[in-house]
């Protein structure tokens, strides 16, 4: 129904997650109306990201230079590794500030129903990092920072079982009522966990 | 925080309508994980749409060939022109089937609050089409098919005032309770209009 270049763009945009046919058409018409520079910049950014981005050989984060900026940063504590599911989670923790250790990105969580097993995640790389005596700094503690969802919890438990025999201390991020949250509106599981996990003050 | 090619892609995607920073990041990571062909096809489709799409010199729709396929189609009734706000509206009417006249795309509706006046729309082109004796078929009726919103109604009223002196019959699409809709859930204005616009049966 659309002219074929528009139809092709709508089809390609429709392959993006959460973008249905109507949203794809809206985006396509926006691209048609946007400045020539903006349209060219978007196309160039897509090409560039595919050409330049690779996995960091140490932490498996997405990076332009290998090793990545965090793995290269000598001021960071190399004995402490925070394991996250996705690169976005790493960015969220960096934004929160305060954490000065290194990271390991799994690129997913265990999810048997979706066909995601241990071999589909960057677990061998994590075990190599922790078990390998050749690394300059021995890893003393791994913070398992997957989400407190069913899959995230299962992944954390699975990793802890593999890491402890290597002599690595494993910890899990705290769960509870979020800062600024109202007790009244917290769900039952969160509240029960917050009470179980209470700390002396 | 992201590697710079990712940050640039997130920034460019964030310029699209309805795409905030988090959605832009999600789309960027999808593009990173998608097949090389899909990523290249998306970039190519953006470049292609900007190179190949122009306005139809007759109906102002977006088209690859000028005049567009509908304006070229000799089986269509050239005496009947349906005026729509956007190319998407034209596609919606074509999908509904049944309409065999031609179109005119305004590329917007009058909206003084947003700074959109008559000069920003393809109104001169419409008046030329209707008033110009040089065209092969004289336009007998114009269907004003802008949305039944405040701006759409105002645009229709404005156009009817300009078109009637040119000897063109103006009509407005029907408003009322949508097919399959429940009277109970119809809003008051729609219901009042549906009763006002009742038809003998």
Q: CB burial class (10 A; 0-12, 13-18, 19+) of residue B117?
A: exposed
Residue B91 tokens read as: 């596609």
Instruction: Provide the pLDDT for residue B133.
Output: 55
Nearest to B6 among A9, A13, A49 (CB): A49
Q: Does A61 fall in a domain? A: no
Closest in A5, A19, A41 to B53, CB measured? A5
Residues A136 and A96 in one domain: yes
Measured in angstroms, the CA of A191 and the nearest CA of chain B are apart by 28
Contact A6 B95 (CB under 8 A): no
Residue B198 lies in a domain: no
Q: Identify all chain B residues contacting A38, using CB atoms and an 8 Å cutoff.
A: 12, 15
Q: Is the peptide bond before B67 cis (omega within 30 degrees of 0)?
A: yes
CB neighbours of B22 closer than 8 A, spacing ≥ 6? none
Same domain, A88 and A11: no
Whether residue B166 sits in one domain with residue B99: yes
Q: In B100-189, which ranges are E strands?
A: 101-105, 141-144, 169-172
Looking at residue B119, the DSSP 8-state letter turns out to be G
* Same domain? A83 vs A168: yes
CATH number at residue B120: 3.40.1360.10
CB distance A69 to B4 below 8 Å: no
**Does residue B71 lie in a domain region?**
no
Chain A residue with minimum CA distance to B88: A25
CB B83 within 8 A of CB B145: yes
Same domain, B83 and B44: no
Contacts of A116 in chain B (CB under 8 A): none
Give yes or no: residues A168 and A80 share one domain: yes
Cβ of B5 and A95 within 8 Å? no
ipTM over 0.90: no
In a domain, A114, yes or no: yes
pLDDT in tens, B108-122: 999 999 999 999 999
Say yes or no: A115 and A148 in one domain. yes
* Cβ contact, residue pair B86, A29, below 8 Å: yes
| Count: domains in chain B | 2
The string of DSSP codes covering A157-197 is: HHHHHHHGGGT-EEEE---SSPTT--GGGS-HHHHHHHHHT
Residue A189 lies in a domain: no
In angstroms, the separation between the Cα of residue B80 and the nearest Cα of chain A is 20
CA distance B104 to chain A (A): 15
The answer to the question of residue A186 being in a domain is no
CATH code at A26?
1.10.8.420
Cα separation, B192 vs B181, whole angstroms:
15
**H or E segment and range at residue B199:** none
* Cβ A18 vs Cβ B23: under 8 Å: yes
Same domain, yes or no: A94 and A165: yes
Q: Cα dist. A198→A175, A186, A193, B35 in Å? A: 10, 16, 8, 46
Spatial distance between the Cα atoms of B43 and A84, rounded to a whole number of angstroms: 30
Whole-number Å distance between alpha carbons of A61 and B95: 46
Same domain, B86 and B43: no
For residues B125 and B39, membership in a common domain is answered with no
Q: What residue numbers bound the domain in which B136 lies?
A: 76-172
Shared domain check, A36 and A82: no
- Which helix (H) or strand (E) element contains residue B52? helix B36-52
Please indicate whether, in this complex, the C-beta atoms of A32 and B50 are within 8 angstroms of each other.
yes
Count Cβ–Cβ pairs < 8 Å, chain A vs chain B.
156
A194 occurs within a structural domain: no
Neighbours of B21 (CB within 10 A): 11
B189 found inside a domain: no
Which residues in chain A have Cβ-Cβ distances shorter than 8 Å to B32? 49-50, 53, 62
**Would you call B12 and A68 a contact, using CB atoms and an 8 Å cutoff?**
no
| Tens-digit pLDDT string for chain A (201 aa) | 788 999 999 999 999 999 999 999 999 999 999 999 999 999 999 999 999 999 999 999 999 999 999 999 999 999 999 999 999 999 999 988 889 999 999 999 999 999 999 999 999 999 999 886 555 568 989 999 999 999 999 999 999 999 999 889 999 998 888 888 888 888 888 888 888 888 888
């Amino acid at each position: 129904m659309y002219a074929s270049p528009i139809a092709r763009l709508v089809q390609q945009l429709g392959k993006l997650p959460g973008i249905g046919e109507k949203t794809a058409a809206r985006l396509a018409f926006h691209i048609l109306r946007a400045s020539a520079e903006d349209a060219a910049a978007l196309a160039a950014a897509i090409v560039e990201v595919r050409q330049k981005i690779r996995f960091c050989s140490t932490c498996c984060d997405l990076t332009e230079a290998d090793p990545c900026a965090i793995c290269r940063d000598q001021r960071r504590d190399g004995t402490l590794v925070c394991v996250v599911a996705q690169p976005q989670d790493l960015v969220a923790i960096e934004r929160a500030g305060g954490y000065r250790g290194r990271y390991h990105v799994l690129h997913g969580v265990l999810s048997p129903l979706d066909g995601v097993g241990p071999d589909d995640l960057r677990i061998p790389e994590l075990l190599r990092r922790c078990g390998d005596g050749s690394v300059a700094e021995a890893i003393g503690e791994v913070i398992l920072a997957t989400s407190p969802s069913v899959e995230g919890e299962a992944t954390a438990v699975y990793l802890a079982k593999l890491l402890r025999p290597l002599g690595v201390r494993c910890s899990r991020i705290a769960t509870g009522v979020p800062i600024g949250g109202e007790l009244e509106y917290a769900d039952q599981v969160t509240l029960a966990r917050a009470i179980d996990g209470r700390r002396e003050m």
